[in-house]
Chains A and B, each alone.
Chain A
Amino acid sequence: MANQASKSSQTSKSGLLFSGSDWDFKTLSRAYEAIEAIAIEELHLDVYPVQMEIISSQQMLDAYSSVGMPLMYRHWSFGKHFLYQELLYRKGGRGLAYELVINSNPCIVYLMEENTMALQALVTAHAALGHNHFFKNNHLFRQWTDASAILSYLDFAKGYIARCEERHGVAAVEAILDSAHALMEQGVFRYHRPPKLSSERQREGVRERLEYEERSYNDLWRTLPRSKDGTKASETDLGMAERKKTLNLPEENLLYFLEKNSLVLEPWQREIIRIVRVVAQYFYPQRQTQVMNEGCATFVHYTLMNMLFDRGLITEGAMLEILRNHSNVIFQPGFDDPRFSGINPYALGLDMMQDIQRISTEPTAEDRDWFPDIAGNGNWRETLLDAWANHRDESFIRQYLSPALMRKWRFFILADAASEPHYEVASIHNERGYEKIRAGLAYSYDIGASRPDIQVVDVDLLGDRQLRLEHKVKDGIVLEEASRDATLRHIRRLWGYEVSLAAIDAQTGRTLNERSTSQIGE
């Protein structure tokens, strides 16, 4: 009898992953292993190895202010962001994230020390498996970022900028960083893939070569007589078309263009611009996949936690705590609620993914109509894995937002013309509106479409050297003037000569206005 009792208590003890709210490294490790096992076996996730780092709330704030990276160069704007985050945190306006995850290999997950064990389990499932899987498998991340190189690159960047500050002074470095930061939005390749990050050794080589060139520069070479095969003539003849060809114009990546072609920048300044550009490029996929990334992580943690509970691995109390946090995370107030601040990517992502699960297992007639290829295929795991791997927010919504979900969310479109004193409800969740709402929502997640489209179109290097930019105005949305002028000043600083920006209507091709730095005072 006694034997039996002790045996049963032992099973219940070993059956649970943890009990109580305190955590220690052994429990964390046990929980991770159990969760990972289920994730791989049940959801077929494929993840990078995980490195979990325990940090305090102060350190979490620090991480926030340096764009979530464990290492970052120094700049005053990060100090400003820190003040802002700290203010929100202190006022209780915003809780800190329970975790932070970095797209690197190994995948770094920050856990807050204040979390209870139940939360740590939730966070492990969310970040260490959900986000991790997404980072490793989504095509944007696979193609556009280099998870294994980013940390060493940031380490290099931090050190390089610190050395520049020593050599050229903090003010000079700050000026370049300010200008480069202003163009971060325009510092990414949207259409073609960026080159891979070079390894440390290659960078070392490039730097050495630059230093050698600096040392061995000889002005005499410039006065060598020109060769006679008519280079001079061809140079003067060089028409605009050829000019554009040699400079690869038009160029959407302003930072790249300035880094490569600016006539006034020193090598170290070019390297700094490059660093800013690389950082911007690194975050570009994350900004295109907010809904998917958070949705994937939320779907994974929700599914895994329920599985853990079903298998009796966590207690009811822990599950309740997890559910409470879960429902906080996916809270979505309506548009007229004072708490409304846009669409919650966690909520939309999770809903869409659960909807896909529903469509593939128990489809309605409508679903069969809308999603003939996945409705009732019964294999929601593969469907989701495929969606996670091959989509970004825009295409994901365009592909998978179902009428059922639009009805559930009661989506509607508000048309907003600046000239009108009122909004107009354009579409609601009805037969005629589904397509429009879906397209409209997808479009609003298209970063390429929602950011100002500004390109370098022409520069006459042998003439006045004025850098000509063009802003394609879509739907009559022009640039905000004060920030436009300030940003143009920054471009002028990097370019060294006058810069002009023409606003061209994308539909008619008409020039709406043109602004040159010569019109802007210092």
Chain B
Amino acid sequence: MPIFVDRRLNPKDKSLGNRQRFLKRAREELKRSIRERIRIGRIADVDAEHAVSMPAKGTAEPSFSDAKDSGRRQHILPGNKHFAPGDRVPKPGQGGGGSSPGKTVSEDDFRFVLSREEVLDLFFEDLELPDMVKLNLKEILAFKPRRAGFAATGSPTNINVGRTMRHSHGRRIALRRPRREELDAIEKELAILEAEPQSAAAHQRITALREELERLERRRKRIAYVDPVDIRFNRFDAQPVPNANAVMFCLMDVSGSMGEREKDLAKRFFVLLHLFLKRRYDRTEIVFIRHTHEAQEVDEETFFYNTQSGGTVVSTALEEMHRIIAQRYPSNEWNIYAAQASDGDNFVTDSERCIGLMDGQIMRLCQYFAYVEIIDERESHIFGSTDNGTSLWRAYSAVNQRWPNFQMSRIANAADIYPVFRQLFARQPAFQKSA
């Protein structure tokens, strides 16, 4: 009789630790390959698994082995059909030299799949939202108990008396536990009968009553007033308390002056940003505001995939943002971050108004404000690093000089997004919010 051991329920992923070690070892090379992929490919695809080729550096397992192109050797092979001794067979692939027939693909030469999480981890490594460090988002979560119904077990301090008594009452009724009044009535009758002169009928009655009384009392003893099964405890759920709240505002111009290409680039910028936030700060809220000549808060789906046409009044978006902050995100409780993408077109007068809004309100509330301007590829070398540019660019340049927590950049094509992204969110010395 063999011994049977059912291991199917054993913890899975026994080799997960080895996989993590392997990825850690290959980290630099994997990171480079992911970065390259993102630079040339579609950014929205980041949010998925990736096949990467086995990194050559750091993961080789060398050992002494024979050089394939040296010496004399023999191959003993099955399946001879027409060869006779002395026949010559040309070697396959002259360049390969004396490679033995039927060799298999080496284990060092294959592609494997990284999960989405692993891809993003590699991608976002050494990027961080500025100013967040000091808020120690990585701190261990604090938990606060929150009422969550009732439980049949718990500590005595948590007994819910009302619930317990209700159960006890129901049980007593169901099991027909004699009530005090019934006993009292019988005792009273007994007392009256005993006080009276004894007749045979009365005697009989007394005996019957005594028996009844005894029965009821026995029953009362058997059926407890409060039984352990009645007891209910208040149940508490440990609810994580975020010790730092962050809200990220994504502002985008979806007006007619934003062509398909601009919209696409802006979208990619936000997708990237959005991914980063979702991944790194899962307690970060994100508000999407799109604007034409008027602004509105929309959900993620609408923000990225719905189109709308109209003029361009950037200040409406800033006003909307300010309104939402005032309404929902008091700045003493929330760290406010904003990222804006636009083609830079705006009414000249409105740009002035934007400067006013930024200086007067928004920048005081924000920890950080990133602005990317999507420009034409042909423009990119004209503008280079000059301060010339669209009306919004010039307006924001003024803001940029006054506020250290304001960043701006131009992007011309998909390959530019990632460097801009890095520039905007690269680790930098924490600076105090000027208030």
Contact = CB atoms under 8 A, between A and B. Distances in A.
Interface of A: 25, 28-29, 32-33, 49-56, 58-59, 61-62, 65-66, 74-84, 86-87, 106, 110, 113, 128, 170, 174, 178, 181-186, 332-337, 340-343, 409-418, 421-429, 432-433, 437, 440-441, 443-444, 452, 454, 471, 473-484, 486-487, 490
Nearest to B22: A79
A170 B67 CA distance: 33
B63 A418 contact: no
A65 B71 contact: no
A428 B65 contact: no
B107 interface: yes
Contact of B19 (A83, A178, A444): A83
A481 B25 CA distance: 24
B69 interface: yes
B256 interface: no
Contacts of A53: 4-7
Contact of B15 (A79, A178, A428): A79
A77 B17 CA distance: 11
Main secondary structure of the interface of A (DSSP, over half): mixed
Interface string B23-34: 111000000000
A350 B287 CA distance: 70
Interface string B69-80: 111111111111
Given A52-B2, A79-B19, A335-B102, A490 B85 contact: no
A184 B25 CA distance: 21
Contact of A483 (B12, B25, B64, B75): B64
A454 to B, nearest CB: 6
A454 B66 CA distance: 12
Nearest to B90: A422
A281 B101 CA distance: 30
Interface residues of B, number: 67
A237 B336 CA distance: 80
Nearest to B62: A486
Contacts of A74: 17-18, 21
Nearest to A478: B70
A333 B83 CA distance: 17
Given A415-B74, A480-B67, A76 B25 contact: yes
B180 interface: no
B97 interface: yes
Most chain B beta-carbon contacts within 10 A, residue among A65, A110, A332, A483: A483
A414 B89 contact: yes
13 contacts: A33-B1, A62-B13, A66-B14, A76-B21, A87-B111, A128-B2, A414-B101, A475-B72, A479-B64, A479-B66, A483-B62, A483-B63, A484-B64
Nearest to A332: B78
A411 B80 contact: yes
Interface string B367-397: 0000000000000000000000000000000
A367 B430 CA distance: 88
A428 B81 CA distance: 10
A412 B86 CA distance: 11
A55 B83 CA distance: 48
A342 B78 CA distance: 9
Interface in B86-116: 86-91, 94, 97-98, 100-102, 104, 107, 110-113
Given A174-B25, A478-B67, 18 more contacts: A51-B3, A53-B6, A54-B6, A54-B8, A76-B18, A76-B59, A87-B113, A106-B3, A340-B102, A342-B102, A411-B77, A413-B77, A424-B86, A428-B80, A477-B66, A478-B70, A478-B71, A480-B68
Contact of B104 (A50, A56, A341, A441): A341
Given A59-B14, A416-B72, A479-B66, A425 B83 contact: yes
B147 to A, nearest CB: 40
B2 A425 contact: no
Contact of A55 (B7, B64, B76, B104): B7
B64 A185 contact: yes
A66 B15 contact: yes
A482 B69 CA distance: 13
A411 B3 contact: no
Interface in B224-246: none
Most chain A beta-carbon contacts within 10 A, residue among B23, B77, B78, B104: B78
A336 B88 contact: no
A433 B87 CA distance: 14
Interface of B: 1-8, 10, 12-15, 17-25, 54, 59-81, 83-91, 94, 97-98, 100-102, 104, 107, 110-113
Contacts of A51: 2-5
Most chain A beta-carbon contacts within 10 A, residue among B69, B72, B80, B87: B80
B73 to A, nearest CB: 5
A432 B226 CA distance: 100
Contacts of B72: 415-418, 475-477
Contacts of B97: 418
A476 B71 contact: yes
A415 B77 CA distance: 11
B79 to A, nearest CB: 2
Nearest to B5: A53
Nearest to B109: A84
A424 B63 contact: no
Contact of B76 (A332, A411, A423): A411
A334 B80 CA distance: 8
A29 B112 contact: no
B112 A87 contact: yes
Nearest to A441: B76
Contacts of B66: 452, 477-480
Nearest to A333: B79
Nearest to B64: A452
Contact of A410 (B15, B78, B90): B78
A335 B5 contact: no
A186 B112 CA distance: 30
Nearest to B77: A335
Contacts of A444: 74, 76
Contacts of A441: 76
Given A82-B18, A87-B112, A427-B85, A479 B67 contact: yes
A183 B62 CA distance: 9
A180 to B, nearest CB: 11
A54 B4 CA distance: 8
A424 B88 CA distance: 5
Given A49-B2, A413-B74, A65 B18 contact: yes
Contact of A54 (B7, B21, B23): B7
A440 B78 CA distance: 13
Most chain A beta-carbon contacts within 10 A, residue among B4, B17, B69: B4
Nearest to B99: A416
B65 A50 contact: no
A512 B9 CA distance: 58
